[in-house]
Structure 1
C-alpha cells in the first residue's frame, strides 16, 4: 500500500468573488509573490506595477491586490490583442491557453449581450490591464499551489443595483449573469455588486465543481480583500487549501482499456470456442461469455472482450463479421495490473512455465501456466491435477 496526498483548493464565496480577490487570496495562501511579479512583468515589461498590502476587513486580516498602469502603456481592446500577448509570452502553452479561455468566456458574454461578434467586442472589461493581470495571476497562482482539484462554494451575487456604462442595472450585471449560467448562486443582502464578470469567469473555467467544503485537513487559509467596505460583513474571499491522504494500491502497470460487448441469442453454441480463439488472435486481452436473459425471456450469451484502444476497431469489426449480432457497444475502463514475467519452474515431473506478478520490484504472485501443465501431464501420463499441485508447491517455495 502506498499513501498519496490530494490537494484541493476551495473558494468560499460568501462575499462574492472578483479577480483581485482571487489573486490576493492565493498569495495569502502561499503562492510565491516573486514568481507572480516576474510572470506579470514578462507579459508587460515596465508597463504596470502591482501593489500587495495587508488590510483589515471587519476585523479579518486580509491581502489586497491592485494593479496600476504606468504612463505610456500599450492599449489593447480586443480578444485578438489579448491572444497575441499570451502567444508571445514565455508562459507554458497550457497556462496561456487557460488564460485565453477565461478571457474568451468574458468576451462571449459581452458579445451575446450586445449582439456582436466576439472579435468586435471593444469594452473596458477585456481592455483593462487589471483584468489581464488578475486572470494570469489566478491561473499561475493555482499552479504554484500545486492543487489537484479546484472547487467553489455557491456564489453570493450581492443585491440592489450596479451602474455600468449603459446605465443602472439590477445585480448581477448582464455580462456577469451570462457567465454565471449553470453555476449555483444566491443573493444575501443589499450590498451592491459582489461578483464581477472576471471573478465569475475565473470560477467557471477553473473550478470542477460547486459544493460544500470537501473532506480533508485544512493546511492553509488565505483571505483576499475586495475594494468595498461592507456593513457588518467582511468583504473577503476565503480560500482553503485542503489535503486528503489516501492509501492506494500502486501496481507497476496502470492503463486505460476498452470493454466491447454484444448479446447473441441466435447462434450455434459450438461456434463460441472458435470466436474466442479468433478474438485472442486479433489482440484481445481477455474474452468471457455470460449467460443472460433477454426480452421475452429468451436465453442468450453476452460476449465481453477486453482490449487496448488501438485494437478497438479490429475487435468490433470481428464481432460484427463473425457473429449474428447487428451491433456492439464499447466503453472505456481503467485497469490496474501487476507487472508480469514468465519463468521456468522445476518440479519432480519436469519443467513447467509460470507467470510471475511483480509490484514495487517484489514478486507477490506466481501462477503455473495451464498449457504448460497440460503438456507435461499428457507427456508423462500423469493426472493434470497432480502436476498442477506439484507446480503450485514448487512455485510457493521458489526463491527470488
Structure 2
C-alpha cells in the first residue's frame, strides 16, 4: 500500500496557485541555506519517511480566482444569490504556478493528487471578503480582485458558466498536468461535494444547493479529466457518497475520507468497491493527549481547536494505540493495508497548521514520533498492527 500526506497551509487553508500580491508564498519561501524551496525540502523529508503521494489544493475557496459578481434575484426559487461569472480564460499565473508546482514534484520524484476546488468554493462568500467590505451587496456586476472567497455556486448551477469554467479554467490546467502525467496519481476535481447539498451542515456550509446540478457539475469535471487522459478522482467525505447522489462509474480512482464519526455511520473500504479499488484520501492520526496539550497551551482560537477536534474520534478495535502518538499512525495504516487499500493519506496533526504567528512551514506537520513509526515500514496485507 502507498502512504500519502495531505499538505494544507496554516489554519486548514490551502496551498494555492494563481495571482496574489508578491506571488505565491510557496514559490518564494526558501530553506535556511537559500538553495531550495521549502516545498522541495518538505517533499524530500516526506519521501524519506516512506510517503510517496501528496494531496494539495489548487484553488481552494477561489479567493484569487477572479471574475465578475453581482447580487441577483432568482425568481424561480424566490431568493437572492451570488451570480459569479467565471473568466473566459483563467489567469496565466494559475498555469505558471501549477507548472512550477508539478516541476517540484517531478524533481522530487513524488506523486501528487492536485485538488481543483474545495466545497467552500460554492459556499456563501466569506463575510470578511475584501469585496464585501467595500461593496456589501453589489447589484451591478463588479470585478473581483483576489478579494472574494467562496460565492461561486453559479459556476456549478448555471450550465453556460459551467461550460466556460471547464473550457477556460479546467482544460488549461489539465493541459499543464498532461506534461507531468507520470507524477499525477489522480486529478481530484472537488473536495467533499456532499457538504454543498446536505440539508444540515452546521457551520460548514450555508443554504444547500440543488443536488442534481452539483452532481452534474462534478460529473462534467470528471469527464473532462478523463478526456485529458489523466486519472480522475473526487474527494468524497464518506464511503457511502461513492454510491449515493455522486455515484459516477467513470471515476477512474474512487476516493473517500474517514474520521470515525459514529453518528455518520462511517465505514472503511479497501480491496473491492466494484472496480477499481477506492483509496483513502483523508484520515487523521491525532491523539487526545496531543489535542489536550494544544488546548491547554492557550495558543489556539476556539475555531482552530474545533477544527482539530473534528479529527479526534478513535478507530474501533485499535484500543490503546489510539492514544499513543508513537503507534497510532502505523496502526491505522496497517488496518488499511490489511483491507487491501491502494493508498491511504494522513491529515496533518494540526500543531503547526494554525493561523498563529509561530507557524513554521519548514517543518512537516506530523510529529517526530509518527514519522519515526512509519519510516522504513512496508505496509502490506497480513501485517501486525504494531
Q: Which has the larger radius of gyration?
A: 1
Provide the TM-score with structure 2 as the length reference: 0.26
Q: Which one has the bigger strand percentage?
A: 1
TM-score, length of structure 1 as denominator length: 0.26
